[in-house]
Amino acid sequence: MKKAILLVAAISSLVLMGCSAQEKQGIKDGFRDIGHATRDATKATGHFFRDTTKDAIENAKEATSSEEG
């Protein structure tokens, strides 16, 4: 009887460990997706501000050069 209980407990433990490994992988995948989304958003925001600043500087230069000339 004890051997049967130990066998069931061992099989149950293996099943639970397998589920935990899948859940851990899912969590890792989720964090990786969040990290990639954050990286992409940061890159897009940086490009937006870079381009906006560049346009503002060019517009200011054009405005000041037309006033002088």
Q: How many structural domains are present in the chain?
A: 1
State how far the alpha carbon of 27 is from the alpha carbons of 19, 31, 32, 39, in Å.
12, 6, 9, 18
Query: What pLDDT digit, counting tens, does each position of 9-67 carry?
Result: 888 777 767 767 778 788 789 889 989 999 999 999 999 999 999 999 999 998 888 66
The confidence score (pLDDT) of residue 65 equals 84
| 15 or 6, higher pLDDT | 6
Residue span of the structural domain in which 52 resides: 1-66
Global confidence as pTM: 0.48
